[in-house]
């Protein structure tokens, strides 16, 4: 009986996360943080600065479509598109999860980001 209650609570939390998400398909520029680049020696990495496509956004984070695979827990500076077309707000976001796009041969990834600042 306790297990059933825990499952219901988890499902309820997941449903609330989905309710709070808003579709947002816009270009999102990003920069890899210097601390990560220096620590891992990735200074010249192709994904150092780039452009991704947002899929959805909520108050706690966003989902991006990217053409490279970031490291789990990597911190990126993302420029979040605002409702005014010319306005973008830079913030830090942490990679929470990543998944290759099914049936894609071009190395595209769906990446879940959590805002940390």
In-domain check, residue 6: no
Domain containing 101 equals 23-115
Q: Residue 50: give its domain's CATH number.
A: 2.40.10.220
Q: Which two tokens stand for residue 30?
A: 């990003």
**pLDDT tens column, 59-117:** 899 999 999 999 999 999 998 876 665 556 778 999 999 999 988 778 899 999 999 97
Q: How many domains does the chain have?
A: 1
In-domain check, residue 10: no
In-domain check, residue 80: yes
Residue 14: is its pLDDT beyond 80? no
In-domain check, residue 70: yes
In-domain check, residue 79: yes
Instruction: Measure the CA–CA gap between 111 and 52, rounded to whole angstroms.
Output: 10
């Amino acid at each position: 009986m306790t297990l059933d209650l825990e499952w219901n609570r988890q499902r309820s939390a997941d449903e609330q996360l989905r309710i709070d998400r808003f579709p947002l398909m816009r270009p999102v520029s990003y920069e890899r943080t210097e601390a990560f680049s220096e620590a891992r020696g990735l200074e010249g990495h192709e994904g150092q600065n780039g452009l991704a496509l947002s899929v959805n956004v909520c108050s706690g984070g966003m989902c991006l479509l990217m053409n490279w695979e970031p490291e789990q827990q990597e911190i990126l500076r993302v420029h979040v598109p605002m409702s005014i077309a010319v306005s973008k707000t830079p913030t830090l976001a942490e990679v929470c999860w990543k998944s290759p796009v099914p049936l894609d041969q071009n190395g595209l990834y769906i990446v879940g980001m959590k805002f940390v600042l």
